[in-house]
Structure 1
């Protein structure tokens, strides 16, 4: 069950239309959008026309639609895309240079604490394959960054997330609520968490919390490395040091 508040009206329908686009399906026809949103085709035609006129959607030569540049510009005004990302980038780049693996920064979705949204990802061509990218989202319980963020979220929110059926990605995905609670406790006590082959069987992640200076946890940082032949604890000091550096930078940036 989602924790998102119920929505209705034109704004809700517009958001549903925009939400029909995903990383796997970045181009959609009118009928595709109608099917994904359960909206009448006439309504979709009207909304898509208005969004296209405003630059939020682009229409291709094949008649399909994609997210437009105007929406991308607006999205980059979000705090997670400005102050947080700007403060974090030097530390993300340093960690990426040291590890030569995937480095990610994510925040918890305030409307649905069961999901994390990735703010940034640095990678190399020979790094282990991962499914995330900037702007994508994943279930919090299955990811290192998500476990860190959920560990420091409102306990009532965490319990609501654990009351839902937890999605299984691999045989290693932790789906028992009590086992997830144990991982959350480890994240709080140790200052980091290891998510071992939970999303893909070839990789694991080491994640640590990013605070607003000395204040609350506002983001999480992780490095994703191959699962085979890796001792994840060797990456803990570097990940925690980078997370602390971002936290200090955020504290210095606060008015």
Structure 2
């Protein structure tokens, strides 16, 4: 979810987006006061915009509160790239989960964040903050570091310009240390993290490259810190990412369907 710094903008679209992105996975509904608190917008502004979002069916009324509407679901089903990526990745992800017994993630990079496209939960994996459609700071995840390591320098520079948020006590927040780690990831094709995105978890990831050599996604295996033997599962993760990459056309072709 993007931060409420957008409330400095005069754009109606920006402010409406803040309202929609104020909803979290655990929320059944939110009232005007809570939406105003989360977005840092005046209640009068929230009230006016929620009325418009109701009219357009982006929101639905639930008593005196609001919940996300069916229009958002309908639009989400038409987003081509995540759907096509998920379709191509699913069989490979199932095989990877069966081989490792751990949770398998597929994600894409959006600026300084990863967006989870698909998650297959494994047995015994600790509770994780990841969810399909959810976001995490790229530098705090093995998935994000795998993609940043193989992205153009401008992509990394843009991500670093947003700052390195500390998600846990172990998250890398030093730019020089992160850059050095990304060089190692670029050499091996594998990224690791332990307790950096969530306490008690360990992860190994590899980038998925399309036929032009551009990064389009990443795959990872996540398990309990101290129990997941990343050196043992790393070859399977790397192989899965390479196999998926061979199935991916150039990114423009993927978008065109």
Q: TM-score, normalised by structure 1?
A: 0.88
Q: 2: distance between equivalents of 1:31 and 1:40?
A: 9
8 Å CA contact 1:211, 1:219 repeated in 2: yes
The answer to whether 1:65 aligns with 2:66 is yes
Gaps of 5+ in 1: none
Q: How far 1:8 sits from its partner (Å)?
A: 3.5
Question: For residues 181 and 228 of structure 1, do their structure 2 counterparts lie closer, same or farther at Cα, with a shift above 3 Å needed?
Answer: same
Q: Following superposition of structure 1 onto structure 2, how do residues 51-90 of structure 1 map, counting pairs within 5 Å?
A: 51-61=53-63, 63-90=64-91
- Corresponding residue number in structure 2 for 1:47: 49
1:116-155 CA deviation, whole Å, 9 max, x = no partner?
Answer: 1111111045322211000110011110011011112221
Q: 2: distance between equivalents of 1:8 and 1:96?
A: 46
Q: TM-score, normalised by structure 2?
A: 0.87
Q: 2: distance between equivalents of 1:183 and 1:83?
A: 31
Q: Following superposition of structure 1 onto structure 2, how do residues 1-255 of structure 1 map, counting pairs within 5 Å?
A: 8-25=10-27, 27-61=29-63, 63-109=64-110, 113-124=111-122, 126-251=124-249
* Alignment RMSD: 2.4
Q: 1: distance between equivalents of 2:173 and 2:39?
A: 29
Q: How far 1:189 sits from its partner (Å)?
A: 0.8
Question: For residues 243 and 67 of structure 1, do their structure 2 counterparts lie closer, same or farther at Cα, with a shift above 3 Å needed?
Answer: same
8 Å CA contact 2:164, 2:173 repeated in 1: yes
8 Å CA contact 1:214, 1:247 repeated in 2: no
Q: How far 1:214 sits from its partner (Å)?
A: 4.2
Query: How many residues are paired up?
Result: 249
Q: How far 1:102 sits from its partner (Å)?
A: 1.0
Q: 1: distance between equivalents of 2:33 and 2:86?
A: 37
Query: Any runs of at least 4 consecutive aligned residues in structure 1 with deviations exceeding 6 A, and if so which?
Result: none
Q: 2: distance between equivalents of 1:16 and 1:174?
A: 28
1:37-68 CA deviation, whole Å, 9 max, x = no partner?
Answer: 2333233222212222322112223x222222
Question: For residues 197 and 38 of structure 1, do their structure 2 counterparts lie closer, same or farther at Cα, with a shift above 3 Å needed?
Answer: closer
Q: 1: distance between equivalents of 2:67 and 2:138?
A: 27
